[in-house]
Amino acid sequence: MKKHLIAIALLSSLSSQAAEVTYQSSPTIVTLAADGTVQVKVKEAENVEPITCSQSAYDFEFYLESIVSQKWYDALIIANNVGGIIDFHYDDATCLLSALSLTRLSSNDGSAEVPVGELQETGNYGNVALIGTNGLTAASYSSSAFYTQDTHVAAFDGYVYADKVNAETGDKISRGIWMAKMRESDGSLAEPWIQVDFGKKVSIAGIRLHINTKSLALGRSAKSIILMTSDDGNEFVQYDTYTLPYQALVDGKFTTTLKTRFLRLKVMSNYGDANFVEIDEWEIYQN
């Protein structure tokens, strides 16, 4: 597949250093300290000037203190898992990062269609939505909203909070969960949604939703949901509505196989928590 660079909402500056330098490489170690400091070690690039400000343990550093920096951290974890190439924009005196841009390994415009059964499957049940597989990157996932660090990308990382449920995944993203508010600031229902863009039409036969038992007991699991499909990401068509059982793992097959590029899950109600809905892992199946 043809590589091309994409801006994925990671490019906002966190610092205003004057002497900015760019270094293109892959992250090899990403460390998050208790005080929120993120340190990044990268693969040494050939035929380029070395990183003169790097330390023995790390090359770049930033602080996890905003939505932008959280997106940076998520992108670094993803790139570390799949060997992605990143342009690191940094201050050459301090090695503090000012911006990132990530390479996406696909140039598909969405008009193609993947034949049934030809997506890469992972895990015990054949999940096709795991980040880093089937051309899926952080930019492939989105949501109407998420709470602090509990981004939509984390619902596709192979983790149910602290527990790894897919042996073929890499590092956990943030807390390993997607969480969103159930109500708007005026008290009205928010009807939050989460979605995945496969980049092309795929055949989908069923889904599997996970939540950890503590959050289940808090009433944060989805109860009433609507599944929606789209070929362009703008116009969505309702496929069906479901009332999910009160349990930590919910799975099921559709009555008919879907062919869609975008699959959206909209939450209409949960099991009692007045504030949040939570999905720890959303697995999707082609068979």
Pairing of strands 60-63, 37-42: antiparallel
The answer to whether 97 touches 72, Cβ cutoff 8 Å, is: yes
Domains within the chain, CATH numbers bracketed: 4-104 (2.40.50.340), 138-285 (2.60.120.260)
The answer to whether 220 touches 255, Cβ cutoff 8 Å, is: no
What Å distances lie between residue 24 and 48, 98, 185, CA to CA?
A: 9, 14, 42
Residue 226 CA to residue 243 CA, distance in Å, equals 9
Q: How many helices (H) and strands (E) does the chain have?
A: 2, 17
**What's residue 116's pLDDT?**
58
Residue 214 CA to residue 246 CA, distance in Å, equals 13
H or E segment and range at residue 77: helix 67-82
Closest to 195 measured CA to CA, from 125, 282, 270, 74: 282
The answer to whether 276 touches 220, Cβ cutoff 8 Å, is: yes
Average pLDDT per run of 10 along the chain, which is 287 residues long?
Answer: 36 50 87 85 84 87 83 80 80 88 53 68 95 92 94 97 95 96 93 96 96 98 98 95 97 92 98 98 95
pTM over 0.85: no
**What's residue 30's pLDDT?**
86
**What's residue 114's pLDDT?**
59
At 157, list the tokens: 């990382």
**What's residue 201's pLDDT?**
94
252: helix, strand or coil:
strand
**What's residue 3's pLDDT?**
37
**What's residue 66's pLDDT?**
80
Residue 226 CA to residue 36 CA, distance in Å, equals 37
**What's residue 1's pLDDT?**
37
Residue 221 CA to residue 236 CA, distance in Å, equals 24
**What's residue 249's pLDDT?**
97
What Å distances lie between residue 214 and 70, 247, 275, 278, CA to CA?
A: 24, 11, 15, 11
